Amino acid sequence: MRRFSRSGTGVGALVVLVVIGLSSAFAPTLAPYDPSRIDLFNTLAPPSVNHWLGTDENGRDVLSRLMYGGRISLAVGLSSMFAAIILGSVLGALAGFFGGYVDSIISRVIDGMLSVPLFFFLLTALALFGSTLFNLVIVIALTNWMPVARIVRGEVTVNREMQYVESATALGVRPLGILFRHILPQSMPSIIVAATLGVAYAILTESALSYLGLGVRPPTPSWGNMLSDARGYIWQVPMLTVYPGAVIFLAVLAFNAIGDALRDATEPT
Amino acid sequence: MTSYVVRRLVESLLLVLVVTMVTFALINSAPGGPSILLDPNMSPADTARLRTVYGLDRPVPEQYVRWLGQLVRGNLGFSLGVGRPVAELISSALPATLILSGSALALSLLLAIPLGILAAVKRGSWFDQLITSLSFMGLSLPVFWYGLMLIILFSVLLSWLPAGGMYTPGNEGSFPDLMAHLLLPTITLATVNLAQLLRYTRSAMLGVLKQDYVRTARAKGVHERNVVTRHAFRTAMIPVLTLVGILIPRLVGGAAVTESVFSWPGMGRLAIAAAFRQDYPTIMGITLLVSIIVVISNLVVDLLYARLDPRVTYR
């Protein structure tokens, strides 16, 4: 922790993230307007005292929509990352611990999935099964667990040879108990780093899918679908396109920077 | 060597088969099934007849085998919704995608390799820091937003370049017109790859420059420029090549988003449209072709190793 706090970028990124996180979490109290309140007499308004970032094509307040959109984008990003971490850790741990057939099957799946264009899978799955938030979280997680699995597999392979494993076996702890109670927790630092980078990927993917119309469905605002709405007005009000993407960029940049700083802090130098 | 190539080809073929199987299973497990049967105006009798015509009343594995059988005869089926052969739809969209992805990959390699090497050689300089932070930011950039920002800058504000499409209507086939339309999507797609390639080239080069044989070369009095370009370069390119293999599937995915932002008439847009209208023959055809392209390029990358790294032997 102390080494993390010495990284200026890491701390800066954390501040950015806290600001984005809090303004999204407390959007219902902080947002100046209801994000879906339509005002047809005041559409595409420029920034003003009443509407700090102006209004969109339906006269809805852009700032309020960004705050509410953050709730969805961050929630999808975080929960799909959690699902991916669980799936990746379990599969990686099993592969690393048991080796042999288990390992070669899981490793083949990882390699295979990393070498095919998964974006088409995302498109197809969401178009066919419907873009509910639940489906969105699941499919993003299904394309995001492989890096975690690889890292965990590598570390478990090393740690299972440690002496404490031998002593636990001698004490009569069952193999799976040893794996999940004793060996896997050793990989926590790497899992946290991978998780931070995983959130960045998940937010980017959600926003791209929502931009294409296969992610979060309007009228629920998400950063991605705000961009796809704004696309139609790019010639009249280019700034509408600038805001949501800038927030996505900042949030993703912050997660990546924190992941990097954590990695530098946890890796022995 | 030959046995290695044969084994890799068989493995690649298996991977393609698995990918198409998973896609096929996915399509058939979706609620509602293929969209043509969802027309609410159709009588149940018509629906049943259509199911028989398309073979949808057969078990899913049998349908898959039939699809494979048709495939061997070069028939990808008819698109649902557009009513044209899938092969025709794909072959009219493929060149656009190849042009875009190819030029984006070329541009990112052309920039990343010299800049990454320079950053590594001048480690810690302002140039190195600039490259490092720019590539870090590039990794966090939402592709589609970046494309939209380029449109705002170069099309909306400056009116220098067209905002989308492949040709100005009435100007099809004109090379300068194509270049003007190609520029923004290429930059968009290249930037994200560039960021990763830069990071990789830089760190690979840093690793190699620390090695003993590089020190030996320096000690022998080899000029520093030759140390970098002759001795270190080849070794540093090996991990970079690995990354290119990893980037190709992502390049294809990124191309889909980029094509959609710039209305580029390629496979990505075709795939998105097909996904929307649940046009399963087209989805299957695209999945097949894209996985073949990706698998083949991975194979080529692996074979290139041997040329770059004499330590690699194929078994």
Enumerate the β-bridge partners of residue B78: B85
Q: What's residue A257's pLDDT?
A: 86
- The tens digit of pLDDT for each residue in A99-115 reads 888 888 888 888 888 77
Q: How high is the pLDDT of residue A49?
A: 67
Question: If you average pLDDT over every residue of chain A, what do you get?
Answer: 81
Is the four-CA dihedral A234, A239, A240, A246 of positive or negative sign?
Answer: positive
Beta-carbon contacts of A20 under 8 Å, excluding residues fewer than 6 positions away, are A70, A74, A247, A250, A251, A254
For an interface test with B, which of A20, A120, A205, A207 has the most B Cβ atoms less than 10 Å from its Cβ? A120
Residue A227 sits at the chain B interface (C-beta within 8 Å)? yes
The answer to whether residue A55 scores a pLDDT higher than 80 is: no
pLDDT of residue A141: 92
- Contact list, A124 vs chain B (CB under 8 Å): 23, 26-27, 275, 283, 287
List, for residues B151-189, the tens digit of each pLDDT value: 888 777 787 777 777 777 666 667 777 777 788 888 888
pLDDT at A32 over 80: no
Contact A124 B143 (CB under 8 A): no
Q: Is the pLDDT of residue B33 over 90?
A: no
Domain regions of chain A by residue span: 8-25+61-266
- Lowest-confidence range among A43-47, A140-144, B202-206? A43-47
- What is the pLDDT at residue A80? 93
> Would you say residue B67 has pLDDT above 60?
yes
Size of interface A-B (CB pairs under 8 A): 129
Q: Which of A26-30, B110-114, B167-171 has the highest mean pLDDT?
A: B110-114
Q: In chain A, how long is the greatest CA-to-CA distance? A: 77
Residue in A126, A129, A245 closest to B145 by CB: A245
pLDDT band (50, 70, 90) for residue A88: very high
Residues 130-159 of A with CB under 8 A from B: 130
The three-class DSSP label of residue A61 is: strand
- Interhelix angle B175-209/B143-150, rounded to 10 degrees, is 130
Interchain contact, A245 vs B142, CB within 8 Å:
yes
pLDDT surpasses 80 at A224: yes
- The structure's pTM equals 0.84
Q: What distance in Å separates residue B36's CA from the closest CA in chain A?
A: 13
Report whether pLDDT(B272) > 80: yes
Average pLDDT over residues B62-86: 77
- Beta-carbon separation of A112 and B253 below 8 A: no
Kindly state which CATH superfamily the domain A8-25+61-266 is placed in.
MetI-like (1.10.3720.10)
Among candidates A236, A234, A207, which has minimal Cα distance to A221?
Answer: A207
Out of A43-52, A240-249, B72-81, B249-258, pick the least confident.
A43-52
CA-nearest residue to B247 within chain A is A115
* CB–CB contact B290 A120 (8 Å): yes
* Residue of B148, B152, B272 lying closest to A123 (CB–CB): B272
> What CA–CA distance (Å, rounded) separates A85 from A192?
9
Assembly ipTM: 0.81
Distance CA B39, CA B24 (A): 22
Q: Which tens digits make up the pLDDT trace of A134-162? A: 889 999 999 889 988 988 888 888 887 77
Q: What is the DSSP secondary structure assignment for residue A184, as one 8-state letter?
A: G
The alpha-carbon gap from B310 to the nearest alpha carbon of chain A, in Å, equals 24
